[in-house]
Structure 1
């Protein structure tokens, strides 16, 4: 059972149904056809020779098929990860292509180790610190950088690559007059073929059609003589074994990039796997197992001269739609790629760079999210600002800084929200035993001698000052002196040592000012903390209640009869005009 938990292949292979074979074979073939042009294009995007894109979809596919908990996720190079690889390694200014290559396989190895260790120590939850607005802002900006950056190949222009949009625009503006019209026509035709193929049917391999037509046109019309740039000689055969460098300086320089790719790659893969899993009820996705599987896939990629890999949305969707029921489809895809490497690489000699650029542009054109910022502006301004900040930083300061700033913003937002829990001052709904927020309901009964405070969230070191300030603010707003505070803790999930010690201080200060305290609805774990810190004795067992109605009844019975008769127990609360009836 322990082996089955970590080796997913032991779960699905022994129970494999022959009825799934046709769908798996069909999907494996179609995805392999997609992976050939995609892999080569994304390798180029990562700054490598295109052949490394094919190397990256051999052993990694097999490894993920053995370990991965998703049965339809298609692992391989991705546009986002490839761009992160290219941008990150370029920023280190490697001396030559050989150094660049060793940085790349070392980066893949580091990404694999980081993901594997995260899975081993069950840290899959860390990806939750990348909020959706941050991911969408980052991916939208990165997609624009990718798309505009590929115009140099689409138009056959000569300007330095960059992951800063302003530098790309400067390069385009200074060289646009040198556009090679024939190359541009080939590239635009490639984009149209890929886009229209998807509209006809998602299973049609538009990228492969564009690749084949591009090769045929260039080869038989002699377009290389007209200046069209082609791949040229593509190495034949299986990749040799490669090992990363363990030089401390290199590892230190690559570490921030490796962390970024590890988190982004996992977030992308896991979200895709969960989306596809929603349509299949015969297996479960395990975040930590996915980290282990992706980690091992990346380690294996570094061993076969590949680069970092992740789950891809388009090929995973096609894999699912083409009938894939098990990871056997990925094993078949890997086998076809191996056959391509052994027998068919010579056919890619006349593949135009413009077609590979077209494949990349078509892939990233759907990533830019134009709708989310508009929706967020109307529904959640905080998330809109998060989206915009991440988008602008990524666009102007680079992809690595963009995702790191997004992660920091996400973490700051979590801390901000945690330090400011929702609090409500309660009043009784007339004629009932129900209590509601006085800022959301009109005409609630308010006892002018006391404040009923509900805290929605934990009480701990980060928010005790905010809670105290809020209670003091409400005390100051009352026209007469408060005699009692009801602390409704029904929604308090935990109480740490700082919270317990601070509560002791509050009780002392309040009682010195002739204000007593009732604790209401404390949950078991919170009561345990109250007991450990002797707060039950400090507060008094007769001041602990299960619900607000019981506490209020007890309080009223013990009020001074003359004071009660003089001022009346209740006044109708009518200062608030918001009539939204939400608790």
Structure 2
């Protein structure tokens, strides 16, 4: 619908039309002295508007587009390829790509095997369950996942979180069978949660956990995990089951004279130094990425052989002792589908599933951006969820994308998810042939490997950047960090989520407003705090609202505008200048308004009437104008008090003030 310049402003024979979009009008207010008014947009159909909103929220990528105008057989093939992307990219797979995937798969396998054994201990499970979780889930993901670079398996943060939450319900040392069953139950529901989010395209929900909160939570979890490893690194037998730093340090220093074992400390510290040196070499020269990747396995081999030939276990060095040989046993019957542990498993699974999903999606997006390909977040959720559901039925606990292994996978030159299949096959051979050789592996080595792995989760540069950019983000980061370190993992997570939501609420309920002034020699109006040379217009206050106006912030916006007006009036009185006659509200940033917002504008109008001040609206969007007309607010203030731009509104107000 076009808008016309008001007849009394346009000379005879000069009538012209202005397009609805301000940016596409034929004549700018800079070239003509005419005042451009805003017209009424065409009324939208409610069903179409609702359908459009739902589509944009859940189906912005239009997943059905590839299926349009296709034959039935073609639709079936596309459906299979959508569910199993491997059938799409496998058509172009060749020997050259396999070489890269083979090297990458062998490299990450050498890293994951010792890590998996250690991470299983974090989850209070026997070592073989960590290996099980790097066999089945990566295979499932390779067929269903859309990321080329992500490496699947147990990760430190989720292992610690799962172990802490499970231990709160069942003591793993007193009732290991039910503990293991609850772990499978939690894994099952973690997978169901992930599949549900992906199937119903609710992936945007995980974005509510802010980047700042994730940085703090990960750093806190890294410190907590590292502190937990002091048990194995120092040879302590009686260690606290709590995770807070106070309890851990009390447990450490309380056993200095009774349980610390110097042989264990020597093994652990020496190999920890070796692992850090290997990391430094890999970081210094990217060509040597394989050095830190293979260092953990070398450490395990050398330390295990040393303990075997010296029989250090007889001198107090704690060893793994036993890892079950063989492939994953079926565990579907062990999942609690009824009884008191069903609800507990569900709650733990939802939390662990969301954290695992957040980490995996973040990793996948990072490497997809580096290689410049698209990653379908909803497909990823379905793939991750399916692999955990299948994993829960094959003796696995929650698996997800590992950042350290994914980074090695990327640097090793992986091309497709086949690298996960190669890694899975190596783990299978390990389970079938090599597990008895881990009998003499010292726990101190596993502790060293975990400490060296989790240190990378502490991102100091990100924390410094948060401080520089947004102090509230920094507070959120530190809140999550200290919550994890000084209380517990679940409390730290709760703080992270709470602060993320608090930030959203604060931004929604207390939006920014600004006083605008005119830039010299232009018709542009900008924030006077940002542009010191912007000058206020005599007799007029121009306020910009930088947010949609909803029930949550409408009263604040109304009161803030009135405070701006009161402050300006006081300044004018002190300087004996003419009073304010017009209030112009710049509404271009106002994307939407609800009934509470309109009610607040009506109250603002009445308050201004008592002060003998006229309200003017400048450049409201289509949705806002539609609602203002539907509520008859435009009739209340007058159709001639809504303008295309601030400059138009100022000219109209100035001309009226100049009239005798």
Give the shorter-chain TM-score range: over 0.9
Give the match's secondary structure for 1:436.
Answer: strand
Give 1:556 deviation, angstroms: 2.1
**How far apart, CA to CA, are the structure 1 residues paired with 2:204 and 2:535?**
44
Q: Structure 2 length as normaliser, TM-score?
A: 0.82
Q: Which residue of 2 aligns with 1:175?
A: 255
Give 1:153 deviation, angstroms: 1.0
Report 1:8-407 matches (<5 A).
8-94=85-171, 95-158=174-237, 159-177=239-257, 178-198=259-279, 199=281, 201-204=288-291, 205-243=294-332, 244-281=335-372, 283-407=373-497
Q: Which residue of 1 aligns with 2:43?
A: none
**How far apart, CA to CA, are the structure 1 residues paired with 2:522 and 2:459?**
49
Cα deviation, 1:405-440, whole Å, max 9, x if unaligned, reads 110111011110111112111111233211111223
Cα deviation, 1:252-291, whole Å, max 9, x if unaligned, reads 334443333222212211221122112212x311222221
Q: Which residue of 2 aligns with 1:469?
A: 559
**How far apart, CA to CA, are the structure 2 residues paired with 1:25 and 1:373?**
37
Q: Which residue of 2 aligns with 1:422?
A: 512
Preserved contact between residue 56 and residue 301 of structure 1 (Cα < 8 Å): yes
Structure 2 gaps, min length 5:
1-77, 283-287, 573-577
Cα deviation, 1:19-54, whole Å, max 9, x if unaligned, reads 201001111111122111111110011100000001
Give 1:384 deviation, angstroms: 2.1
Give the match's secondary structure for 1:14.
Answer: helix
**How far apart, CA to CA, are the structure 2 residues paired with 1:280 and 1:125?**
23
**How far apart, CA to CA, are the structure 1 residues paired with 2:634 and 2:657?**
22
**How far apart, CA to CA, are the structure 2 residues paired with 1:28 and 1:35?**
10
Give the match's secondary structure for 2:92.
Answer: coil
Q: 1:493 aligns with which of 574, 591, 595?
A: 591
Structure 1 gaps, min length 5:
563-583
**How far apart, CA to CA, are the structure 2 residues paired with 1:262 and 1:212?**
34
Give the match's secondary structure for 1:92.
Answer: coil
Cα 1:246/1:481, change in 2 over 3 Å: farther
**How far apart, CA to CA, are the structure 2 residues paired with 1:372 and 1:286?**
26
Give 1:89 deviation, angstroms: 0.8
Cα 1:554/1:248, change in 2 over 3 Å: farther
Give 1:119 deviation, angstroms: 1.1
**How far apart, CA to CA, are the structure 2 residues paired with 1:444 and 1:365?**
50
Q: Which residue of 1 aligns with 2:641?
A: 543
Give the match's secondary structure for 1:468.
Answer: helix
Give the match's secondary structure for 2:110.
Answer: helix
Cα deviation, 1:378-397, whole Å, max 9, x if unaligned, reads 54322222222221111111
**How far apart, CA to CA, are the structure 2 residues paired with 1:446 and 1:228?**
78
Cα 1:7/1:540, change in 2 over 3 Å: farther
Give the match's secondary structure for 2:254.
Answer: helix
Matched residues, number: 561
**How far apart, CA to CA, are the structure 2 residues paired with 1:252 and 1:482?**
63
**How far apart, CA to CA, are the structure 1 residues paired with 2:331 and 2:537?**
76
**How far apart, CA to CA, are the structure 1 residues paired with 2:620 and 2:559?**
22
Preserved contact between residue 170 and residue 178 of structure 2 (Cα < 8 Å): no
Cα 1:35/1:373, change in 2 over 3 Å: closer
**How far apart, CA to CA, are the structure 1 residues paired with 2:414 and 2:82?**
22
**How far apart, CA to CA, are the structure 2 residues paired with 1:250 and 1:34?**
35
**How far apart, CA to CA, are the structure 2 residues paired with 1:131 and 1:267?**
10
Cα 1:530/1:10, change in 2 over 3 Å: farther
Give 1:151 deviation, angstroms: 0.9
User: What value does the CA root-mean-square deviation take over the aligned residues?
Assistant: 1.8
Q: Which residue of 1 aligns with 2:68?
A: none
**How far apart, CA to CA, are the structure 1 residues paired with 2:304 and 2:526?**
71
**How far apart, CA to CA, are the structure 1 residues paired with 2:83 and 2:635?**
50
**How far apart, CA to CA, are the structure 2 residues paired with 1:426 and 1:114?**
48
**How far apart, CA to CA, are the structure 1 residues paired with 2:542 and 2:566?**
14
**How far apart, CA to CA, are the structure 1 residues paired with 2:459 and 2:388?**
28
**How far apart, CA to CA, are the structure 1 residues paired with 2:289 and 2:503?**
39
Preserved contact between residue 555 and residue 600 of structure 2 (Cα < 8 Å): no
**How far apart, CA to CA, are the structure 1 residues paired with 2:504 and 2:413?**
41
Give 1:132 deviation, angstroms: 2.1
